[in-house]
Each structure stands twice: as structure tokens, then as C-alpha cells.
Amino acid sequence: MIGALAAITGQTARLSFRSGGGAFVGLVFFLAVVTIVPFGLGPDLNLLSRIGPAVLWIGALLAALLGIDRLFHEDHEDGSLDLLLLSGLPLELVVLARALGHWLATGLPLVIAAPLFGLLLGIPPLALAAVTLTLLAGTPALTLIGAIGAALMTALGRGGLLVAILVLPFTIPVLIFGVSAAAATIIGPAPFMPPFLILCAFTLVSAVVAPIAGAAALRASLA
């Protein structure tokens, strides 16, 4: 069973890396957001470095939700979802495997790119490390929450934007604690660990809730 799940994860990641898959689009979108902000706010590096962690987090959030609506769409279209249901693999673990594959292709590049893009915003080195760490801990939660929305939208042909709107409220706490931890090194003597640990908790909880909710939504789409 682990083999089958690993295969699903790998396949999802590989498909995302292909031209229509959205991995690189997400990265480019992330860069676009980071680049646009200084144009809007002005090049004052003092200001940019203070809000830098927040800008990186917002960019990562939007980029993570960008391509997620298609997560289960092809499966539904070509019937492989029915096969997965019949295969005896727990649907919950299939959802988890798909989300993990998607994160490897879209979330992990964001985490790797974050310190580089953070330099564009003048973020100091310690804060760069903090932001990267928080993104590493938090982007899986964003992908998992997005997967719930994707599962809900599976049966519909349209609706990428609707998915993003539906799951956005649930991603807000992740954003709040991610920025809180990342900015702790810049703004005042605020502690890093408490918000960071809560962020990790969010990822762990969503790793449980998202597969359950996602599987329920997929079953409802098929019925």
C-alpha cells in the first residue's frame, strides 16, 4: 500500500512539473507578487524589510492556492477516481498522497525561493531564516486546506476562483501565525517559538482533517 501511495505522490509531483502543471507558474507568480509590492509601496528598504515576511507569506499563500483546483479534476474526468475507490486504497490516504505530491512540486519550490526573493525586499539574514522555516512548516497546511476545496470542486468543470474563495478563510490563521513567527525577529522582542509551534500544529491538524474532509467530498462528488 505504501508503494501505491508513493507512486501517487510521485505521479502528482511529476505532472505538476510538466508544462501545464502549474509548478513553475506558481513560482513565477510568487516572484511577481514580491516584485510588484516595491513598485506600489516605494523602494524604501526600511519599510520593505519590516513588511517583507508578510509579503513573502501572502505571495506564497496566493501561489499555493493558484493551481490547486485541478488537483482531482483529471482523476474525475478520466475515471481513475472510480478506480481508486475500487482499488481498496483508503481514499483519505489517496487525498493525502495527492496533496503531498502537489506540495513537493509547488510548495517546496516556494520555500527554496523565499530566501532569494527576501533579499529583494531587504530582509535581514536572521529573518530570512525565520521566514523560510515558517514557510516550510506552513505551506503544507496551505496545500492541504486547498486540497479540501479542490475535492469539493471536483465534480464541477469550472470554479478555480471559487475554490480559492472557499478555502481562503481557513488559510488565514496559518498566515497570521506564519507572519507572526517570521516577523518576530524584526519587529520588537516578540518570541518566535510559540507562533511557530502553533503553525506546526496547524499543519499536523490539517494533515488529519483535510484527508477526511477531502475524501468525504470526493465520495459526494461521485455519488
* Residue nearer to other proteins on the CB measure, 105 or 183: 183
Residue 82 Cβ, how far from other proteins at the closest point, in Å? Answer: 15
Q: By C-alpha distance, which of 77, 181, 85 is closest to 133?
A: 181
d(CA 13, CA 212): 21
Buried b (16+ CB within 10 A) or exposed e, 88-99: ebebbbbbbbbb
Q: How far is the CB of 107 from other proteins (least distance, A)?
A: 21
| Cα atoms found within 13 Å of the Cα of residue 70, Cβ hemisphere only | 12
CB closer to other proteins out of 119 and 172: 172
Q: Which is nearer to other proteins, 105 or 213 (CB)?
A: 213
Would you tell me how many other CB atoms lie within 10 Å of the CB of residue 192? 17
Q: Give residue for cell 477526511.
A: 212
Of 45 and 222, nearer to other proteins (C-beta) is 222
Smallest gap, in angstroms, from Cβ of residue 212 to other proteins? 9
Residues that bind other proteins (CB under 8 A): 148, 152-153, 155-156, 158-159, 162, 165-166, 168-170, 172, 209, 213, 216-217, 220-221, 223
CB of 14 to other proteins, least distance (A): 29
Least Å distance, CB 106 to other proteins, is 22
Q: State how far Cα 12 lies from the chain centre.
A: 14
CB–CB of 191/151 below 8 Å?
no
Name which of 172 and 190 has its Cβ closer to other proteins.
172
